[in-house]
Amino acid sequence: MNYTKSFENLIDNLSKLPGVGKRSAERMAYQILDMDNFNVQEFSKALLDAKNNIKRCKICGNITESNICEVCDDNSRDHSIVCVVQHYKDAYNIDKTNSYHGTYHILNGAINPMNGMGVDELNINSLFERIHKEHIKEVIIATNPTTEGETTALYLSRLLSKYDVIISRIAYGVPLGASLDYTDEFTISKALEGRRKI
Ligand SMILES: [Zn+2]
């Protein structure tokens, strides 16, 4: 027995989401069909609202529903320090730790010539404008510990060295509670690089 055209289309669209395989998409599709009309309408409205209302902060590139995001608009934060990340979700993850109270700058990716991602495609120029405007004293580069992330970090650190700012790179290393036995060499070498005095 084949699925109907609309049901198949729903499954296809759900399986476009990250981490959702065909089986999970099928389960979700059954669940959606079992929902009442009001809830399905609310669900589809939430998708459209998110897409239509969310834009990028004019200062840092974070997602916002105003011109300026909550972080850039918050005077209780330390605006002299900025943490540069590849994606806004990285900023959310760092912020959840409550151990950072500066601002962010979202690059929207990393340098990756293979994927056509060059410097011009990234939100970089506005970072340098911010250094002057906001009197930034420290830039923490928190791009991912991948080839693209490291290339981007190196590129940024070279450009930033012309400015009077402290440049730092977040440390990567062995996860808490993990054993070195089960940690890959790349992570161990990064942990050694980021070692600190005790
Ligand atoms: Zn912002």
For residue 1, pLDDT over 90 is answered with no
Per-residue pLDDT tens digits for 46-80: 999 999 999 999 999 999 999 999 999 999 999 99
> Measured in angstroms, how far is the CA atom of residue 45 from the centroid of ligand 1?
26
> Measured in angstroms, how far is the CA atom of residue 58 from the centroid of ligand 1?
7
CB 169 within 8 Å of CB 139 = no
What is the 8-class DSSP label of residue 117? B
CATH number of 5-53: 1.10.8.420
Distance linking the first and last C-alpha atoms of the chain: 66
Give domain 75-193's CATH number out of 3.90.550.10, 3.30.70.3400, 3.40.50.720, 3.40.1360.10: 3.40.1360.10
> Measured in angstroms, how far is the CA atom of residue 147 from the centroid of ligand 1?
27
Burial 37-71 (b: 16+ CB within 10 A, else e): eeeeeeeeeeeeeeeeeeebbebbbbbbeeeebeb
* Domain regions of the chain by residue span: 5-53, 75-193
Per-residue pLDDT tens digits for 107-157: 999 999 888 888 889 999 999 999 989 999 999 999 998 899 999 999 999
**Mean pLDDT of all residues belonging to the chain:** 93
Q: What pTM, to 2 d.p., does this model score?
A: 0.83
> Measured in angstroms, how far is the CA atom of residue 71 from the centroid of ligand 1?
6
